Structure 1
């Protein structure tokens, strides 16, 4: 029987379901009747739930009797140590740290009156030890992904119109890659785009809008499509998208071949598959953001101040991190160039020395007498 790593919410003990409902219960602004997590964004709530599901899945498999205890009583030093040991055999250190971080948040939500400093300290040590994987070798420059997206759209128009919608799907994917190359928004924001609410038509131009509810930073954002991209956007809206939407008539910008709206997970898979087939790089949606910041810092370091705006970040720390990465890459490139130039200078010098020494040795060598 296959062990459950994540215990589905419909299988949670009643006490856990009630604790989470109370934690996320919306309240009145004036009487503070809301739960401890009432103001958390949906993305944060999902992360906490996912980590807690993994915790309950571990208890369900390894310590089923613990599920009879109150939720907060199960979170002990001994159990957490065992949990981390199990996770460490299945996950990278950074993933282990994120899971324990979610468990720490959940503990504070369901039993905020308890002292969880010991758990916070463990979480902090795990985060400090975790080292994210360097993904620079998996990044394709935005100029290349943009060219690829436009190429997909151009070649799609030459394909015949069939019931399998190969032409329409390829065009949609090309527009997706082109737009992300120019405007690397988060996956949730990308999936939230609709035609009526997020696209604004002007004379000779198209604006894409993001409302506070669509962004992690809770700020309004807009992006004006470059003039060369406008005909591609209009072609998608007037010709390609209606064929994909069919009778469903929904408002989502990204339509599936089954007439529905593409989810964030499906958008992730589409972009990843297309990029891997073309570039051989395991590049995901979030890598568009890494690529935009990293190559901007490499190609135009004097403009790193715009990186927080491009990535919807309020803090300049991300820009500084990519700037430091760019400097390290440039330093490595300069070192390699320097070593190559030294080798080029030494090679003829060595050849000349060897030749002169050979000639001198030949002159010094005594001749044999018969």
Structure 2
């Protein structure tokens, strides 16, 4: 029962009116489209569609008669209370709050003239009482060896056998994913979206990943310059291991899985598996970003602002609030202030 709660009704199975209203409220326009939702990223629209599909699935299983009504009449206090109580069986309060937030955004976009503030109020109440799940602090220096070990394991197995196999390719791929996440602190959606023809370029001996604005959460183009060591692993991956996957020559995704590119959720699953095996606890791709920010605050607290640029944030406040351990952030802030005072004093003496 718990797993079924997380299922979403496929888009093609939605009632016709839901599909029409959703598409009208989330147009995929160009730069000159003035619709307020035209600038939303594909990932944001996908998340909203998944949440609305999840709501429809709950109604289909438990209150199927509701699907005959218009979307406006389905979004009631009773239906949302029922849905959130079901979700609470296997979801955290924060997940439930995110569910309500997206429902609010979707129905407000579908029916902008109606008053949906009551959903926002309920979402904020749940969010305020939510207890964040405890996460063990992890540093980049702890997860990087995991990726390196997987890469070396694949290479060693290939040498012993005299040739590389698909199993070696899978291990090498997973190791390279972890190394890339550790070094570049990319979001998993960005990582999954890498196209070897469109986004990878060789600059002398180093590889560069260039992602256009439409593929990033911040809607700003990102450029990731890989280190010499990581670039060497990318060379080996592209030349030896990636071609071993079935149909690898028929798509240009960076990370093949069987006969198709990996999606971001699949990347998350494998990263969690390998970190669980190595550390005794799972680390999600998102936690790699925390690891990078915290590692920066530990080894170079005077330059804590480097973490903001590393994570692609527009403000240091965002970095400190969500990615750096609070105590370390305060220590880093004091170190940064002291370093600034030293620079000012030195400039006055000159």
The residue that corresponds to 2:303 in the other structure is 303
1:167 equivalent to 2:168? Answer: yes
Unaligned runs of 5+ in 2: 332-350
> What SS class does the counterpart of residue 181 from structure 2 fall into?
helix
Question: C-alpha distance in 1, partners of 2:146/2:100?
Answer: 40
Question: What corresponds to 2:156 in structure 1?
Answer: 158
Shift of 1:83: 2.9
Q: Kindly report which structure 2 residues correspond to 1:72-111, keeping only aligned pairs within 5 A, or say none.
A: 72-111=72-111
Structure 1 pair 37/301, CA: closer, same or farther in 2 (3 Å)? Answer: same
2:288 equivalent in structure 1? 288
Change (3 A) 1:3 1:313: closer
164-173 or 178-187: bigger deviation: 164-173
Shift, 1:68, TM fit: 2.4
Report the alpha carbon displacement of residue 156 of structure 1 after superposing the two structures with TM: 2.1
SS, match of residue 156 in structure 2: coil
Distance change (3 Å), C-alpha of 1:30 and 1:150: closer
Give the Cα separation in 1 of the matches to 2:204 and 2:177.
23
1:161: Cα distance to partner?
4.9
Contact residue 289 and residue 311 of structure 1 kept, 8 A: yes
CA distance in 2, matches of 1:171, 1:107: 44
Alignment correspondent of 2:334: none
Summarize deviations over 1:79-136 as a string: whole Å, max 9, x none.
Answer: 333333333233210011011111101110111111112222112222222232121x
Task: Tell me how large the CA RMSD over aligned residues is.
Answer: 2.8
**Is 1:221 aligned to 2:222, yes or no?**
yes
Number of equivalenced pairs: 326
Over 3 Å counting, the alpha-carbon distance change for 1:323 and 1:301 in structure 2 is farther
Maintained 8 Å contact 1:161/1:167: no
Equivalent residue number for residue 202 of structure 1: 203
Structure 1 Cα separation of the partners of residues 13 and 247 of structure 2: 38
Counterpart secondary structure, 1:222? strand
TM norm structure 2: 0.83
Deviations 1:215-273 (A, max 9, x none): 111212222222233322222222222333666343222233x3432222222222221
Cα gap change, 1:85 to 1:145, in 2 (>3 Å)? closer
Distance 1:265 1:294 in 2: 24
Structure 1 gap segments, 5+ residues each: 331-370
Q: Does 1:47 align with 2:10?
A: no
How big is the shift at 1:283? 0.9
Deviation by residue 1:21-54 (Cα, 9 ceiling, x = unmatched): 221234687785x5x6333221111221222122
Q: Distance in 1 between matches of 2:83 and 2:247?
A: 49
CA change 1:194–1:74 in 2 (3 A) is closer
CA contact (8 A) 1:296 1:304 kept: yes
Structure 1 CA distance, aligned partners of 2:215 and 2:32? 26
SS at match of 1:157: helix
Bigger drift between 186-195 and 316-325 goes to: 316-325
Structure 1 pair 170/90, CA: closer, same or farther in 2 (3 Å)? closer
Rg bigger for which structure?
A: 1
Residue range with higher mean Cα deviation, 152-161 or 318-327: 318-327
Residue in 2 that maps onto 1:233? 234
C-alpha separation in 2, matches of 1:200 and 1:109: 39
